[in-house]
Structure formats: structure tokens, C-alpha cells
Amino acid sequence: MDNRNIPILGIGLPVHNGEKFIRNALDSILSQTFRDFELIISDNASTDSTATICQEYVKKDIRIHYVRQSKNIGSIFNFNFLLQEAKSKYFMWAASDDYWDPTFIEKNIRVLESDETIIGSISDIELYRNHTKKLKPDISDPSNRNIERFQYVCPTFGPFEKRIDTYLRFFQASIIYGVYRTEKMKESFIHSRYFWAMDLAIVLNLLKYGNLHVVDEILMYRYVQDKPSKSIIQYQIKLKIPMIEIIFYEFPFTFWCLKNLGCKIFIKNIHIFIKLNLRAGYVIFAEIVRIIKRIIFKQDKFW
């Protein structure tokens, strides 16, 4: 393809059985004030009416391309498929149950165009449909003050170690749904079997290349389930995670950080990793006790 015909932005929308929300997401994308984009939908073998809805939108707008996977390839591989398809200067993933203010893309592209040290930009986020527990960071540390302003995404600045410290404390990865320099995201993506907090590991990889920016306006709305699964074991079994990694589910992320961030950063933040793994051990132990209790009392469901 002639580079002159490649849109500035590639949008990748992974979906599996998204009939409930995908119309709203597509309408929101098509309503953006920034028009120079290509939208690729990767349908992960949906069994509902997702395919029919997507084909309807393909006929409406030539910027939309629809790909249906012949079988469910898993969410990580579906995300990676869309990223590798991107030839544009910038790239963003769009969740099928999110929606955006019409100026979301325009304002984030403007940030990236104006500052080469910024490799990704997103707006502040508001959750809808449900309320989650608010983040309560330790704001006694002056370098952590900016976290107080943002509940779900956090900007970074300064040297690499400071950027890493910020996100290890913040420990949220919704910022992965921002607008990124495509090549930097491709270099940062982790090509391996899924492990717990893999999205955060990708964010930490991105921080090697520069800063993350947050537009100080709520321009993005993320869906949260009314009744999310309370079972970490059940969730990971569905992802076909080996049992040893389910029991010690924070260890793969901990080991990844040691290997990829270096001993100096790891040791400096070792208290965070100790807390993560102790908390994970408690959560799994409590769930196993609950499963045993339900078996003893002959209740049908373990979860």
C-alpha cells in the first residue's frame, strides 16, 4: 500500500459476543472529530449476532474492515493480531463495550504530535454501569501526588526509574487503551502465553521508550460488569492457565519484572512484590476454603 494512503491512526477492536454494546462503541468511533483512521474489527469466533452487526457497519463506512477468526484464539492473541495488522503512525485498541467523547482521538493525537517524548496518551476515564473501589494511594510521597488526581489512569514524567515506580505503585493498566506510537507498542507487546497482570507488564515495557500522558478531561467511558466474577480460580481456568500459576498467580508477573526491569528496580520495589504475592496467596487460600465448604455442604456451585 502507498504510504500516502495509510491513515494516521489504526484502531483495533477485538470482540467476542459483543452484541449488547458493540453498536454503541462503533457509533462512538464513527462520531469522532478526527477522521483519518482505519478501524479493524477482529471477531473472536462470536456465537451471537456480533458478525451481523459488524457487517452492517462495514457497508456504512469504508474505513471499517471486519475479520472473523475461525476459532476463538484467546484475547491476548486477538489483541496482538490487531496490533500486527496496523501500518499507521498511531494505534489504539478499542474495547467493544466502551465509548468515547467525540474529541477523544483528536485531543490525544494532538498531544502525540506536539511532543516526541510522549509515546502514549489517553484521557481521564469514568466507569459506567457499576462503581469500583477507589484507589487510595500513599500521597505522603511527593512523587506520588499526581496519582491522587486520577483513579484509573496515571501520567508519567521524569527518568525511567521514576516512571516505573509510579506504575508499580499505581498498579492499574487501563491506560493501555490510549493512543500510542504504533512501532513503540509493537516493540512493547509481550508475545507469550497469558499471565496475570500481563497488561500492566506491557505498560511497564512502554515506559522504556518515554512518558505517558493523560488529558485532564473525562473523554472515555469504560464498562464494568454489574456482577463480576468473584473467582480468580474460575477466571484463570477458563484461560487454561496451569494450576501452579493459578495458585501462585502473581509470581509470573513478579518474575517478569525481575527479568525485564533489572535487579536494581526490582530490589528497590521488592516490598510491592512481597505484598502482591502475600495478597495473592491469601485470596487463593480463602477461595479454596470456600470451595471445600460448598463441597461439604453439598452445594451445587463452587464459585
Q: What are the per-10-residue average pLDDT scores of the chain (303 residues)?
A: 78 97 97 98 97 98 97 94 98 97 98 98 88 39 49 94 95 97 98 93 98 97 74 82 90 97 96 96 92 83 62
Look at residue 210 and give its three-state secondary structure: coil
**In this predicted structure, what is the pLDDT of residue 298?**
78
Domain boundaries of the chain, sorted by first residue: 1-97, 99-227, 232-296
Closest by alpha carbon to 112, among 84, 90, 86, 87?
90
**In this predicted structure, what is the pLDDT of residue 230?**
66
Full-model pTM: 0.88
**In this predicted structure, what is the pLDDT of residue 133?**
38
**In this predicted structure, what is the pLDDT of residue 301?**
66
**In this predicted structure, what is the pLDDT of residue 149?**
61
**In this predicted structure, what is the pLDDT of residue 92?**
98
**In this predicted structure, what is the pLDDT of residue 145?**
44
Instruction: Give 247-255's long-range contacts (Cβ < 8 A, gap of 24+).
Output: 247/284, 248/277, 248/280, 248/281, 248/284, 249/196, 249/280, 249/284, 250/196, 250/197, 250/276, 250/277, 250/279, 250/280, 251/277, 251/280, 252/195, 252/196, 253/195, 253/196, 253/197, 253/198, 253/200, 253/201
Q: If one looks up domain 1-97 in CATH, what number appears?
A: 3.90.550.10
Task: For residue 85, give Cα distances in angstroms to 10, 13, 42, 73, 97.
Answer: 9, 12, 10, 16, 22
